[in-house]
Amino acid sequence: MDIQITAYMEGQLEQTPSSFHRYMYDRVSWDARMFGIVGPRGVGKSTMILQYIKEHRANRRMLYVSADHVYFTTNTLIETADEFAKEGGEQLFVDEIHKYEHWSRELKQIYDTHPDLKVMFTGSSVLDIYKGAADLSRRAAVFLMQGLSFREFLLLFKGIEVPVYTLEEILANRARIPGVLHPLPLLHEFLQRGYYPFASDVNYDMELRQVINQTMEVDIPQYANMSASTGRKLKKLLTVIAQSVPFKPVMDSLAAVIGVSRNVLPDYFLYMERAGMIGQLRDDTGGIRGIGKVEKVYLDNTSLAYLLGGTATDIGNIRETFFYNQMRVDHDVISSRISDFEIGDRTFEVGGRKKGKKQIANAREGYIVKDDIEFGAGNTIPLWAFGLLY
């Protein structure tokens, strides 16, 4: 292989830590003929695949390339795959695939031409991956990767190892953080800046703002054929959401503020959701996950909320954002007609220490999720426990 890309791979592997694996590491089908990992910028997709290569390449011939490397200004993915296969290559990893023009078409050709070559790709922009993934739907499974759970934060930044708990165990008040009697300070640290694996970086605030700027001013406008100025207006909308009580969008007034037609706003919100900037809580009218009517809009995670909302960040919004963000990875979460959230036949009301049980009085199976309590009892569950699911 070309010395440029082999040297680049070695340099990346040298910098890759091996002590902590994201939750998705054990969930993806590493031996599949072709698969992708997509998700918001900054959640650790590149690190995860480099860890896998570092830990398995003694037994398999592997190649890692980044689609935005200067090498690809004069070389194609197909040529790279052809050469690698001729040299006995077994597994090709293509990072940042969305930055490569016609990526979907070339991956299809590689799949059809080299049946013995396993191909894995990542994309930081969920938007472009979704646009191209339809062409690969019969060939490649695509896994969606989220940011850190509270449990992963504890292990990565505090060295505290906590088992994964099921929802049933959490609702039975069995969740515990070994050796920690007072989990609330740890939860509040996570809420403020714990969702991204780069949270301990000295330039964390700047890095997170870069994630937001790239997503809102480059990724979404490129995907949706909108102007960069419209992207900047949408970025202002993020601050409005951060500082609001749990936010039900009124399309007419938002359209007037942003200066766009109300008819395009639902599409813009969907782009922002797929890009990992917001979460949209829907009702059950669609019958299929992600199809129902949007009842509330949250920022995607609490780290975004604190960065953009500052001291004006609404604590009720933070609590609901945390619950929705952590639960949605493995559960279908919808809005409740009588309370905050529903998961299956269960109803959840989220609040602070003084939250009462009035909203769940008529629920078939209702739970009060309280911030500011260390341990629960009966159907009252501490908020922090819902961060231990993955």
DSSP state letters, 269-321: HHHHHHTTSEEEEE-STTSSTTTS-EEEEEESSHHHHHHHHGGG--HHHHHHH
Note the pLDDT of residue 288. Answer: 58
Q: Which residue has the higher pLDDT, 225 or 188?
A: 188
| Coil/strand/helix, residue 79 | helix
Q: Note if the pTM is more than 0.95.
A: no
Note the pLDDT of residue 250. Answer: 82
Question: Is pLDDT at 343 greater than 70 in this prediction?
Answer: yes
- How do residues 68-89 score in pLDDT, each as one tens digit? 999 999 999 999 999 999 999 9
306 to 212, 213, 219, 256: CA distances (angstroms): 13, 16, 22, 26
- How do residues 213-252 score in pLDDT, each as one tens digit? 999 998 999 888 888 888 888 888 888 888 877 778 788 8
149: tokens are 């759970």
Q: Please, which residues have CB within 8 angstroms of residue 179's CB and are 6 or more apart in sequence?
A: 160
Question: Is pLDDT at 110 greater than 80 in this prediction?
Answer: yes
Question: Is pLDDT at 132 greater than 90 in this prediction?
Answer: no
Note the pLDDT of residue 198. Answer: 97
Helix (H) or strand (E) run with residue 141 in it: strand 141-144
- pLDDT band for position 289 (cuts 50, 70, 90): low
At 136, which amino acid appears?
L
For residue 231, give the nearest of 289, 173, 271 by alpha carbon: 271
Note the pLDDT of residue 290. Answer: 61
Question: Is pLDDT at 384 greater than 70 in this prediction?
Answer: yes
- How do residues 24-53 score in pLDDT, each as one tens digit? 999 999 999 999 999 999 999 999 999 999
Question: Is pLDDT at 170 greater than 70 in this prediction?
Answer: yes
- pLDDT band for position 287 (cuts 50, 70, 90): low
| Coil/strand/helix, residue 65 | strand
Task: Average the pLDDT over each of 158-172, 273-287, 318-332 and give the range with the smallest value.
Answer: 273-287
* Average confidence score pLDDT of the chain: 93
Tell me how far apart the alpha carbons of residues 45 and 172 are, in angstroms, rounded to a whole number.
33
- pLDDT band for position 2 (cuts 50, 70, 90): confident
Going by the DSSP 8-state scheme, the letter that residue 11 receives in this structure is: H
